[in-house]
Structure 1
Amino acid sequence: MADIQGYIMLLIIWLVSLILVRTIFSKTRAKSRLPPSPMALPIIGHLHLLAPIPHQALHKLSTKHGALMHIRLGSVPCVVASSPEMAKEFLKTHESSFSNRPITAAVDYLTYGSADFSFAPYGPYWKFMKKICMSELLNGRMLDQFLPVRAEELRRFLKLMERKASRSEKVDVGGELVRLTNNIVSRMTMNRTCSDNEDEAEEVRKLVEATAELTGQFNLSDFIWFCKNLDLQGMKKKLKHVRDTFDSMMDKIIKEHEDARKRKDDNRVKDLLDILLDTSEDENSEMRLTSENIKAFILDIFAAGTDTSAVTIEWALSELINHPDLMEKAREEMDIVVGKKRLVKESDISNLPYLQAVVKETLRLHPTGPMIVRESSQDCTVGGYEIPAKTRLFVNVWGIGRDPNHWDNPLEFRPERFIEGGGKSQIDVRGQHFHLLPFGSGRRSCPGTTMALQVVQTSLAAVIQCFDWKVDGRDGKVDMKEGPGLTLPRAHPLMCVPILRLNPFPSSSYI
């Protein structure tokens, strides 16, 4: 509804602009050396061309205007890169000019004035937090330490599916996967299991959902200069409610952690919040973290680690249900490597190349970050075109994954392309190959890639190993339409009846 209101506002502004502005093209535009551009409208520029789903609309425009094009979203100048070559130009060759992320009104408010890590400007604070992330928060030692947590929550999810299967009960698979990933992130971050407190669990899930919705919602004040100080869509009240609720929850959790730290309980396992509190109390630290820094970072972890992993698993399962021959291949590999008497482990994944290929192919066609967004910090020249400072960059990861110049039969779901002899077996997802950028590339790539892959690959392996999935409908096919949003949600939830495949169901020998 909020998006519809936004587009209605755009229509009104456009109609007014037709009266106020008598020409579409600026004379100065012809003299500039900007990339090719579609025809723009007064005031709103190209905003009307982005509906209903921006990455799809931009991909369609790129087929006409080229792999590098210039657009104007209201008063915000932008460039769009839609090929691996152009992505490499911006994210590697000119990385120093595009190391900042643009700040929207919603992001700035929810992150306490960009006190977080994800949207902090490139500089000393961001470098310090990146170092903490890689050396303390998301390194191999910490991930190994929380292996039992991930295993326990996955086992809890599988037992729930087993109960649903015994009653032939339909399940909102995506919703339950969000619960799974939310519980994992909650326990790793704050040593709390939301499963034991359904009220708190529901509160956290709603906060994550509201944060994704508000930060992904079109906001006139971000793009139309004379709307900057106006709240025509009533977002301020929604943002205040979300931040106040998050504030209250985090103040309570931080106090509990501080009390526990005073008791010096040696048996207590340190979580990510403990490490952040250690850093904030360290007088010798090169930077002292404030409570706002800590809260904003925790919000980053929840926003980046909950919905994204769940959506990837949901898309992968949807593709396999629609391709039963590929599902069978994945199961045959699982039966050979793991067998049917125990549950798959994280340590099995390295011996399951076809499963890894399924995840890669899912990330190619359904990247949870369909566009990488940056902002230029200085004037630069890319591909022979002049890109001014403060120009917003969109790298269309979704479109690049469908580029027929680099992918055979790009719209076909075919994991075999990533298997030895398939032509793309050496391509990795960690940002070194610009044909496949689900986690970004360079200094601002996702620091949680390893953790995300562990959760996604092991969870997908388990749902393939343990269950068949029955879908309603005459042909038993899953609708693969995308919905609007930051993390590439499905237009319709994946509703399935799980059917127990392993009987008897393996016991708790998972870890």
Structure 2
Amino acid sequence: MGRGRAAVSEQPRAPRAAAGLFNCSGPARSRGFSRPPRPPFARGGRRRWKPAGMEVLWAAGGLLLALSLLAFVLYCCYVQYIHAKYDHIPGAPRESFLFGHLPIIWRMVRKQEFTPDLLLQWAEKYGPVVRMNAFHRVSVLIVSPEGVKEFLMSPQHPKDPIVYGNLFSLFGERFLGNSLVTVCNHEHWHKQRRIIDPAFSRSYLIGLMETFNEKAEELMEKLEEKADGKTEFSMLSMMSRVTMDVIGKAAFGLELNALSDDQTPLPNAVTKIMEGLNKARDPFVKFMPGKQKLVKEIRESVRLLRRVGKQCIDQRREAIQNGKEATMDILTQILKGDALEKTRDDENILDNFMTFFVAGHETSSNQMTFTVMALGQHPEILERAQAEVDEVLGAKRDVDYEDLGKLTYLSQVLKESLRLYPPVSGTLRRLEKEHVINGIRIPADTTIFLNTYIMGRMEKFFKDPLTFDPARFSKDAPKPYYCYFPFSLGPRSCIGQVFAQMEVKVVMAKLLQRFEIQLVPGQSFKLIEAGTLKPLDGVICKLKPRSSARGCQA
């Protein structure tokens, strides 16, 4: 029994020893056994690694913050360096070290105030060379004839690539590209100008008088429907429609019929693009959730206009190559010039198609609307202009090319309108080398701002500048000396200025011949910047037929 008891008592030992291999709390530990180390993740390893991960994140965040602060400090030092470089140039006090004069401009924009009037005040107080700060960029406003002559008459001062580069595309869609207006490289510009110049020659433009008369007559018919002395309408809207019809047919052989319906695809696209140009001045608008639908419509409008332009180019080129009688418009002349140069750059032709279409109709419609506004405000000038039209045209319907030269007082009225209300108020150049203007040193790599609106309203250049006085441009009056440039000056002046003034003269002559003009009371007649300068209220008018116009006939 004792032996059996001993056997029974000894049998469990082996299992206990074996169990000790797997049981840390067993007696195996005292016999030299130790458990193998467990991987960290098996014993709450995540809790031990988490602090290390957070430390890395904190370290990275601290490093990023330090680098950001260092970059900010370095940028502030750079801005201070720029200030020191330009602070010898007179200018209004900066409202902010970093933002410069921008907060003042932003407040005016929010209140829908007209910012060129602020620049006019600065020009009169600090001119003729005025400094304007925005972050690290400095622009210099020049309001001296010496400066205008230097920077506009010489080809060595290119257009500012940053400013005009913004017109290359509109919300990501190629817009004006490298057109005559936007291209900064002088050789590229000169090549384009050589191709396009024949399309704007005097002999060719005379052939467009038929189109000018045709579209102007269609406008008169529309206005006759409103000429009851009671119907109020926007003169800007009507002028915009007729100039769109003119540029469509005279430049590209397109019958747009905007006078009948300005909501057809192409006129509507041009209107939407002009709205886009205004909105694009805010660089953040394309990121605003509430503006996405508008941005999409603007992009589609740009694509539509370029697509129509491409179709026009392809069809016209095919007609020319097949020896068919091509429509004699500006596009035909451009394609012939392009063929002679052997360039075949359709994208560049499209860029100029967009430029003529958008800028060509907008500027002329604004000029005519402002002229109607000024004549309505000055009945004695209106009466004299109508008397001249009656003398030159009599009762005939169409205006001949020879008649344009005889309408001298109307020419003075149109020039005076451009002095006070230039649709394109100014232009910019890039100063590549240091220059001295009126004794003030301007550093290299500076944006130069030249503004005909501002100079046209300064007493030092025009007596009683806010008075509308066409006599300033009479034959015997002294000529403005580099202080009046609504179409710019020098080699990069507007190629379409003769086209535009012929068109405007025909439309205005017919309008003065047919109607008495009355401005509706209560309008502000304020100006706004919307890509171009235009009247805020659109110049609301009422018309009555003139008794002398009833005998007008073809």
TM-score scaled to structure 1, two decimals? 0.82
In 1, Cα distance between equivalents of 2:418 and 2:259: 33
In 2, Cα distance between equivalents of 1:155 and 1:113: 31
Task: Please say if 1:470 is aligned against 2:525.
Answer: no
Q: Please, which moves more after superposition, 125-134 or 438-447?
A: 125-134
Q: What is the match of residue 399 of structure 1?
A: 454
In 2, Cα distance between equivalents of 1:205 and 1:154: 17
Distance 1:301 1:470, change over 3 A: same
In 1, Cα distance between equivalents of 2:88 and 2:168: 29
In 2, Cα distance between equivalents of 1:197 and 1:159: 10
Q: What is the match of residue 415 of structure 2?
A: 360
Q: What is the match of residue 58 of structure 2?
A: none
* Residue correspondence of structure 1 range 388-427 to structure 2 within 5 A: 388-421=443-476, 423-424=477-478, 426-427=479-480
Residue in structure 1 matching 2:181, options 118, 127, 138: 118
In 1, Cα distance between equivalents of 2:407 and 2:546: 19
- CA positional deviation for 1:383: 3.3
SS of the residue 1:381 aligns to: strand
- CA positional deviation for 1:307: 0.9
Give the aligned residue type for 2:118: A
- CA positional deviation for 1:245: 2.1
Q: What is the match of residue 251 of structure 1?
A: 310
Residue in structure 2 matching 1:481, options 520, 526, 543: 526
In 2, Cα distance between equivalents of 1:113 and 1:180: 23
SS of the residue 2:139 aligns to: strand
Q: What is the match of residue 54 of structure 1?
A: 115
In 1, Cα distance between equivalents of 2:549 and 2:140: 56
Task: Please say if 1:454 is aligned against 2:533.
Answer: no
Task: Please say if 1:493 is aligned against 2:553.
Answer: no
- CA positional deviation for 1:407: 1.2
Q: What is the match of residue 405 of structure 2?
A: 350
In 2, Cα distance between equivalents of 1:216 and 1:376: 27
Q: State whether residues 171 and 498 of structure 1, in contact with CA within 8 Å, keep that contact through their aligned partners in structure 2.
A: no
- CA positional deviation for 1:106: 4.3
* Residue correspondence of structure 1 range 431-446 to structure 2 within 5 A: 433-446=481-494
Q: What is the match of residue 304 of structure 1?
A: 359
Deviations 1:198-242 (A, max 9, x none): 678733333333333433446455xxxxx89x9568697565333
Q: State whether residues 211 and 246 of structure 2, in contact with CA within 8 Å, keep that contact through their aligned partners in structure 1.
A: yes
* Residue correspondence of structure 1 range 57-456 to structure 2 within 5 A: 57-92=118-153, 95-100=155-160, 102-104=162-164, 106-110=166-170, 111=174, 114-134=177-197, 136-165=198-227, 168-195=230-257, 202-217=264-279, 219=281, 221=283, 231=287, 237=296, 240-261=299-320, 263-266=322-325, 268-280=326-338, 282=339, 285=341, 288-421=343-476, 423-424=477-478, 426-427=479-480, 433-456=481-504
Q: State whether residues 148 and 450 of structure 2, in contact with CA within 8 Å, keep that contact through their aligned partners in structure 1.
A: yes
Q: What is the match of residue 12 of structure 1?
A: none
Q: Relative CO higher for 1 or 2, CA cutoff 8 Å, sep ≥ 6?
A: 1
Give the aligned residue type for 2:410: L
Q: CA RMSD in A?
A: 3.2
Among all aligned residue pairs of Structure 1 and Structure 2, give the percentage whose two residues are the same amino acid: 22
In 2, Cα distance between equivalents of 1:468 and 1:187: 29
Q: State whether residues 155 and 508 of structure 1, in contact with CA within 8 Å, keep that contact through their aligned partners in structure 2.
A: no
- CA positional deviation for 1:27: 5.6
- CA positional deviation for 1:324: 0.7
Q: Structure 2: state its 5+ residue gaps.
A: 1-68
Q: State whether residues 129 and 440 of structure 2, in contact with CA within 8 Å, keep that contact through their aligned partners in structure 1.
A: no
Q: State whether residues 199 and 333 of structure 2, in contact with CA within 8 Å, keep that contact through their aligned partners in structure 1.
A: yes
Q: What is the match of residue 4 of structure 1?
A: none
In 2, Cα distance between equivalents of 1:27 and 1:377: 19
Q: State whether residues 120 and 126 of structure 1, in contact with CA within 8 Å, keep that contact through their aligned partners in structure 2.
A: yes
- CA positional deviation for 1:408: 1.3
In 2, Cα distance between equivalents of 1:198 and 1:459: 17
- CA positional deviation for 1:409: 0.9
Give the aligned residue type for 1:486: G
